Structure 1
């Protein structure tokens, strides 16, 4: 393993020295999150008509399948969802709220030299500017390789804590688990008003990344960084983000700078705001006679 790490470091430094003093690259990433868990919740539900199921699946596809653009230079990058025209009413109500928590919206700026990131978020018609330190993952470099496009990529793995405001990793709780909780008397008033009561949110997940030392930039999609080469693919089990296009030394330069609009908060503070507001929405929905259903908000 030490020999592999030394060899990669040498390749990284050699490639870096061959780069021009000023350069910029652009990568297109396709992000897909599995919806199998959520679709299974609709199976056997008599309240969900075929028409409703079709509508829900179409909106889920929009939330869980996205295209992002990463513009980068030697030390910084901006990662932003590709802008698309929405159909009338397609992004309204609760689905707009949910879409913002499925990895979309805003500009994600990373500076690997300062080890900081800035991302602007819109939540419940309010603008936030999350400014914090880049998460430092303990990457384990492997020897396994594969081709992504024209580039040879190496495998790396790490354990990553899950953000409380990122619901892509939420899994519907199995009926057996909910019945067991009820038996133990855990269905208290506080439990019932928790909008995540019907879901399991893991505290941490295993990440598999594929990076290429041929592009010696410690960058990648979303918050990922810290490897001796550009990350072209990330897989956390439910979400796969893969590079579909890569252009080096782009002619049309993009200004790579941090967004500035919004109330400045730390990541933990933003997570707490989101969770609290979602719980308030769930309580309001229940008080209006709605059925208890965790994520149902689009009324």
Structure 2
């Protein structure tokens, strides 16, 4: 190799190395903004699960379930927003005036009644939770989840997200998609604990999903991301004990309702 060609190669390598910091500077990280989520509940699947699959020798339950399916959409859709800044988030559901599943006693299974404030610097949360026409203000630590990050990726709301599989409340299987371009370890509802913002969540066995539909990279007023203040004050363990006591008369349906209320 001629000396002049070697010099050209070395100069080219030096130029490439000098440009790397410029490339890194062009990678934008969203430090604050608002995320819009859409929650979808497969009401037909939830109803079938609550009725034990609908299998009866006389076919009565199957016929009853078919009749109810005709009166409600298969998917119930709820919207919400998540404001974030300074390693804090505030999840606020959009109030849905009409819910066709209410007439069948399934409203608790899919509604979004919780306003949730999370502070990732102090690993704490304050949530306003509505249960059976009562309002509670629950102070607790952030939920701990066991996550396993995979190589699978998916684009959500304009962000490349990596998949993680998790387990919550010892038995609920969770699939989440997070982006490290939003360096906040939060997500919809109380989902958190990944190295970036969670933009998609699926609970396959519970027939629930949350996915971001829009991310607005914009300054957020500090007075927006503040804890809720309304409700009867309780800590996390006391709230769970109250729920267990309140629903013990619900029989086999109690566990399903309890899961939906503490997500």
Residues 271 and 256 from structure 1, CA distance in 2 versus in 1: closer, same or farther, beyond 3 angstroms? same
Pick from 17, 24, 28 the counterpart of residue 32 of structure 2.
Answer: 24
Match of 1:118 in 2: 126
Of residues 231-240 and 138-147 in structure 1, the stretch that sits farther from structure 2 once superposed is 138-147
Which of the numbers 245, 248, 256 marks the counterpart of 2:217?
A: 248
Q: Deviations over 1:38-76 (max 9, x none)?
A: 237457326738765434x35x854xx321111111311
1:54 paired with 2:63, answer: no
Partner of 1:39: 48
Contact 2:29 2:182 in 1 (8 A): no
- The count of residues paired between Structure 1 and Structure 2 equals 221
- State the Cα distance separating 1:153 from its structure 2 match: 1.0
- The 3 A distance-change label for structure 1 pair 218 and 67 is same
Counterpart of 2:98 in structure 1 is: 86
> Which secondary structure does the structure 2 equivalent of 1:48 belong to?
helix
Task: Return the match for 1:77 from 89, 93, 106.
Answer: 89
The within-5 A match list for 1:170-209 is 203-209=170-176
> Is 1:160 equivalent to 2:168 in the alignment?
yes
Q: Which has the higher strand share?
A: 2
Cα distance in 2 for residues equivalent to 1:24 and 1:234: 21
Gaps of 5+ in 2: 1-23, 255-263
Residue 195 of structure 2 is aligned to residue 228 of structure 1: yes
8 Å contact 1:24–1:253 — kept in the other structure?
no
Query: Structure 2 length normalisation: TM-score?
Result: 0.70
Tell me, in whole angstroms, the C-alpha distance in 2 between the residues paired with 1:54 and 1:272.
37
The normalised TM-score by structure 1 is 0.62
- Bigger RCO of structures 1 and 2 (CA < 8 A, at least 6 apart): 1
**CA offsets, 1:2-40, max 9 Å, x none?**
xxxxxxxxxxxx78x9658xx631111111233315237
Question: Compared with structure 1, are the counterparts of its residues 236 and 76 closer, same or farther at alpha carbon in structure 2 (3 Å cutoff)?
Answer: same
* Counterpart selection for 1:264 from 212, 233, 238: 233
What is the rounded CA distance, in whole Å, between the counterparts of 1:247 and 1:151 in structure 2?
12
